[in-house]
Amino acid sequence: MVKLYKTTTMKKITLAAFALFGLIFSAKAQIQKGNVLIGSDLANLNLGLNSPTSFSGTIAPKAAWFIQNNVALGAYANLGIATVKGNGSDFTYGVGALGRIYAGGGNEIIRHGRVFGEANIGINGQNLSQNGGSTTGLGFGVGPGFAYFITPSIGLETLIKYNGIVGFGSSPFANNVALNFGFQVYLPGRATANKVRNDVR
């Protein structure tokens, strides 16, 4: 009886391990309908060691759900700081909605990569310490990017994005072009998970 219980338990553990392996390494599953994208972008990262020391960086966590193959909708946030010792700090911040459309892949040149376009809209702002300037209002951004999948579920990305803010403050408009680097995890949705479980069985 004990031996039978152990055999059944081992079988369940083995099936669960195969299902997990399949979820992580199943080909072309990352941008299918129902899946979820979670990750973050980094931009403007700089550490100045000369006197006066300085630091700057922006982090932008994001999450999105694939409403259909190659198309994802979700949300983002961003927080940035640029500081020089003795001269105060500049801050940027924002939260809103984003969308992505993927293209390419499936050929010899970019077998493990996807080109995508990303756009966002939300509430953004910036506070500048040097001249006391600030802008807060409607934030928007758009730009192309490329995701290289080191596994079918993990993507390293680069994104060139134009960002703008239209609103209130000492400056009614602010804009910039940023080069972002990102790390995204593509989690299987329920439909993908069920398919893998059925394939394992």
Domains by residue range for the chain, with CATH: 30-189 (2.40.160.20)
167 — phi, psi (to 5°)? -175, -140
- Euclidean distance between CA atoms 64 and 70, whole angstroms: 12
pLDDT tens for 91-146 read 889 999 999 999 876 555 567 889 999 999 999 988 877 666 778 899 999 999 99
- Euclidean distance between CA atoms 76 and 51, whole angstroms: 35
Inter-CA distances, 28 with 71, 102, 172, Å:
14, 12, 44
- Euclidean distance between CA atoms 142 and 181, whole angstroms: 15
User: Residue 131 has what DSSP assignment?
Assistant: T
pLDDT tens for 22-42 read 433 343 558 999 999 999 999
- Euclidean distance between CA atoms 196 and 90, whole angstroms: 48
